[in-house]
Every structure is written in structure tokens, then in C-alpha cells.
Amino acid sequence: MQIAELNALDRDGFVNALGWVFENSPWVAARAWACRPFSNVENLYSAMTAEVEKASEAEQLALLRSHPDLGTRARIGIASAAEQAGAGLDSLTEAEFEQLHRLNSMYKTRFGFPFLFAVKGSRNIDILRSLEQRIGHSRDVEYREALRQVYRIAEFRLRDTIVD
């Protein structure tokens, strides 16, 4: 979609076009719509991330919690499934899957939200190493890192969807 086409959409059309970018959180697109017109993808991305930053902690937590566990074999969204497959998470060995599942569970128990990692361009070993490292962070550090990862995921999705 061209940025000019996006700018011309009404609020509902805009949310229908971009509501999925921040996983199951169309409120981000709904709030960013008021910032139109966007001159480019960077401007759009900045507006959307600013809306998340202005959101309450409860809204931010809901956004973090809306993301699926990495490597899950449960039903997940099309975008998440494609991103995880691209990183090789759909072809883990049974031992790797069990390790990822165990670490994901420990992480979620410790922090109250799933481990988030923008997997595009990464390999499954990179993801496992990051999970092992980040599980030792403080909650405040990891909360900011989780949001940073959500922003990276959204940026990848926007750049794959919108043309300046």
C-alpha cells in the first residue's frame, strides 16, 4: 500500500489496514490515525510507537501479552507464524523445542509477559541465546527491552506493508 493511500483512509479503513501491525492491538493504529498525514513509513512508525509510549502500563502489558510464545505449536496469527518460520522456529528439534518451551515458561513466570524477540533475520540459536541471557534481567530492564522488541517487529511489518 502506498503511504498516500493510507493517508486517505478513514479511521476504520486505517485500522483495518494496520490494526494487526501491533499484535492484536488495533488501538495503536486507531490512536495514530489522528496524526495523519504521514510523510513516510518512518513518520508513521514514530506516531505508532509514540501512542504505545503514551499508553497506560496496563495497555502496554496487554500489548506485550498479546504476542504468542516463540516456537509455539498453538494456533497463532499469520504474521507471527511467517516471522517465526523465517527464523527456523518451525523446524526446531524436539530437544530445542523443549528447551525453548521450558525457558519461555520460566520467562513468563518471572516477568508476567512472553519473551519477545524480533526474529526477522535471526536464527533459532540466536533466539535461544537471547532468551537465556535476558531471563536474568531485572523486570524494569526487561519490560523496556520487550517494548523495544515489539517496536522492531512493528517496524518490520510496516516496511513490508507500506511504500513511501
- Phi and psi for 163 in degrees, rounded to 5? -110, 130
Number of domains in the chain: 1
Q: CATH number of the domain that 47 lies in? A: 1.10.3330.10
Tens-digit pLDDT profile for the chain (164 aa)?
999 999 999 999 999 999 999 999 999 999 999 999 999 999 999 999 999 999 999 999 999 999 988 766 444 455 555 555 555 666 677 888 888 889 999 999 999 999 999 988 888 888 889 999 999 999 999 999 999 999 999 999 999 999 88
Residue 99: domain span: 3-161
Instruction: Give residue-wise pLDDT tens across range 45-61.
Output: 999 999 999 999 999 99
Instruction: Give residue-wise pLDDT tens across range 117-147.
Output: 998 888 888 888 999 999 999 999 999 999 9
Q: How far apart are the first and last CA of the chain?
A: 9
- Active site residue: 67, 87, 118, 128, which one? 67
Place of cell 518512518: 42
- The predicted pLDDT at position 153 comes to 95
Tell me whether residue 67 is one of the annotated catalytic residues. yes
The rounded distance, in Å, linking the Cα atoms of 127 and 116 is 10
The rounded distance, in Å, linking the Cα atoms of 149 and 164 is 23
- The predicted pLDDT at position 75 comes to 43
- The predicted pLDDT at position 101 comes to 87
User: 71's torsion region: left (phi>0), alpha (psi -120 to 50) or beta?
Assistant: left
Task: Answer yes or no: are the C-beta atoms of 33 and 15 closer than 8 Å.
Answer: yes
Neighbouring-strand partners of residue 2: 163
- The predicted pLDDT at position 69 comes to 81
